[in-house]
């Protein structure tokens, strides 16, 4: 599979790290696995690391993501989703996708160039040592 995810139980954070060449079937499989592991009640906090992927989304991704989110809106509930990108072009793609995702759903998406800033937005006020621990967890290969 070209996408991988993992959970940080203490921070209640799902980390998605896509890779180049990911198919829409692989993306949906990952999204369904995440949905199956969902615990009800709490806001989902999702961090998408797109720093190592292609500069822009594949043509199918935007429609596929929006369709999936709308199809499963009731099961998903509240989602706070930070997308960390590598450049301004990717940032604009993410902002456009965020606008579409927020229409008629309970999804808040924000794009960031800085990983620590994304974590602060997702998790609220965290002390620097906690942010540093999360950064080390994110960058540790699984």
Mention every residue, 6+ apart, whose C-beta is less than 8 A from residue 94. 50, 83, 85, 109, 111
The count of other CB atoms within 10 Å of the CB of residue 32 is 12
CB 71 within 8 A of CB 101: no
Give this prediction's pTM.
0.78
Class of domain 3-139: alpha beta
**pLDDT at position 56, please?**
58
Strands (E), 28-134: 44-49, 79-84, 107-112
Give the pairing type, strands 13-18 and 3-8: antiparallel
CA quadruple 65, 67, 72, 73: dihedral, nearest 10: 90
**pLDDT at position 87, please?**
79
4-61 confidence digits (pLDDT tens): 678 887 888 888 876 555 666 777 787 777 777 666 667 888 888 755 555 556 667 7
CA atoms 102, 108, 75, 32: torsion sign: positive
The count of other CB atoms within 10 Å of the CB of residue 37 is 10
CB 44 within 8 A of CB 69: no
Count of alpha carbons within 13 angstroms of residue 26, beta-carbon side = 14
Confidence of residue 1 (pLDDT cuts 50, 70, 90): very low
76-125 confidence digits (pLDDT tens): 788 888 988 877 777 787 778 778 878 878 888 888 989 999 999 998 87
Report domain extents, the chain: 3-139
Confidence of residue 2 (pLDDT cuts 50, 70, 90): very low
Cα–Cα distance between 52 and 116 in angstroms, integer?
Answer: 16
């Amino acid at each position: 599979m070209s996408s991988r995810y993992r959970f940080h139980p203490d921070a209640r954070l799902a980390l998605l790290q896509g890779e180049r060449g990911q198919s829409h079937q692989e993306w949906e499989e990952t999204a369904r696995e995440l949905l199956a592991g969902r615990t009800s009640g709490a806001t989902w906090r999702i961090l998408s690391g797109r720093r190592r992927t292609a500069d822009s989304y594949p043509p199918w991704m935007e429609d596929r993501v929006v369709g999936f989110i709308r199809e499963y809106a009731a099961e998903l509930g509240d989602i706070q989703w930070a997308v960390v990108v590598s450049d301004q072009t990717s940032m604009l793609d993410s902002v456009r996708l965020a606008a579409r995702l927020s229409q008629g759903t309970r999804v808040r998406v924000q794009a960031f160039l800085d990983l620590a800033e994304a974590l602060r937005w997702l998790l609220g006020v965290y002390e620097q040592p906690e942010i540093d621990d999360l950064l080390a967890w994110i960058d540790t290969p699984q």
